[in-house]
Amino acid sequence: MRQQKCVRQLEILSILRNLQTQIINRLEAMALTYSIEDDIRFQQGEEKRGIQKGIGQGMEKGMEKATEEAVKNLLLANIAPKQVAEYLKVSLELVQKVAKSIKK
């Protein structure tokens, strides 16, 4: 237990002093093993990155849905597909895809 605490402290100091490569080499030669993935701080960082990634994906899907809704509304207002693509700065293929879904 004490040994792992010392290794964690050493890991933190190595980050601050830019000595991680040397510390990793020394730790590999030692009889103990230390998994950074078991470290609570590492796990907290992974959790935050996962949440941020999920938020980013949600925002991206929301933007796609809003764009498709705007395309649909302009098409329903009888604006030509090419103009819709130009106004919204989207591909003509997307406009045609939305147009097909409206006709169904």
Exposed/middle/buried for 7, CB within 10 Å: 0-12, 13-18, 19+?
middle
Calculate mean pLDDT across residues 27-42. Answer: 69
pLDDT band at 97 (very low <50, low <70, confident <90, very high): very high
Helix spans in the chain (H): 2-16, 20-29, 40-76, 81-88, 92-103
Question: Which of 17-26, 37-46, 90-99 has the lowest average pLDDT?
Answer: 37-46
Question: Which has more confidence, 74 or 16?
Answer: 74
Q: Are 42 and 36 in contact (CB under 8 A)?
A: yes
Residue type, 18: N
Q: What is the model's pTM?
A: 0.51
